[in-house]
Amino acid sequence: MIKNVVFDMGGVIAEWKPREIIARLLPQSERREWLYEHIMLSPEWGMMDKGEITNEQAAERLAASAGELAGEVLRVMRGWPAQMPLIEGTPKLMRRLKGRGLGVYILSNASDAFWQIGSVKPALALADGVLVSCETGLSKPDVRIYELFCERFSLKAEECLFTDDMAQNIEGAKKAGMRALLFEGPSALEKELITLGLLQPSQPKAF
């Protein structure tokens, strides 16, 4: 029986579109694809998620190897947390789930900059617990982070439903014994939750 619903953050609660983030921060740059690869696909990005280095330490390391683009790298690294708008429908689902008596949690791969992402505050206020990968030394889809999550909040894996926008993270949750759904937008998730009996269909507004 599902008693808890666990949400990823980037791409589920707040938009995570790194190329668009870079374009907004550096609209005149002609090297945006290079910056995307240099930053978001770098070993440093994964190190941030595991808490091995901070966002600022990664910024300095990546800037040091970026030559004349060092300034642009720093602008992206220091500016990306403010460039993740809220996916409006997700907190609404979280609120409805809580109204049904279910636990609502967040499990995210993220650096220490997670706490600077202002758009996630409505979801944080609803969450019964939050676990960010940088605080654990682990990251999804490692089965151990899901196990640690359950241990941290005294939950049973088989009583948790996890949703994430990345298929590999869904598989990691399943290996840990959770039920898991690929997130394809709030409307699609709502339908899945209704099918599972976790939500009632929304009532149409009376006019």
Give how far the C-alpha of residue 119 lies from the chain's centroid of Cα atoms, to the nearest Å: 12
Mean pLDDT of 53-79: 97
Judged by DSSP in three states, 16 sits in coil
Q: Residue 26: pLDDT above 60?
A: yes
Contacts of residue 37, defined as CB under 8 A and 6 or more positions apart, other chains included, come to none
Mean pLDDT of 42-53: 96
Mean pLDDT of 147-161: 98
What is the structure's pLDDT at 202?
Answer: 76
DSSP conformational letter for 38: H
pTM confidence score: 0.93
Could you read off the pLDDT of 73-117 as tens digits, one per residue?
999 999 999 999 999 999 999 999 999 999 999 999 999 999 999
Contact in structure between 4 and 155 (CB atoms under 8 Å): yes
- From the number of C-beta atoms within 10 Å of its C-beta (0-12, 13-18, 19+), residue 85 rates as exposed
What is the CB neighbour count within 10 angstroms for residue 88? 10
Contact in structure between 138 and 145 (CB atoms under 8 Å): yes
Mean pLDDT of 2-8: 98
Strand-pairing partners, residue 86, are 14
Greatest CA span in the chain, whole angstroms?
Answer: 61
Mean pLDDT of 45-55: 96
What is the structure's pLDDT at 204?
Answer: 57
Closest CA to 146 of 179, 116, 117: 179
Closest CA to 120 of 94, 101, 154: 94
Q: Residue 205: pLDDT above 70?
A: no
Could you read off the pLDDT of 130-145 as tens digits, one per residue?
999 999 999 999 999 9
Q: What are the structure tokens assigned to 39, written together?
A: 């930053």
Cis link prior to 141 (omega < 30° from 0)?
A: yes
Give the separation between CA 173 and CA 192, rounded to whole angstroms: 17
What is the structure's pLDDT at 62?
Answer: 98
Q: What are the structure tokens assigned to 140, written together?
A: 């999804």
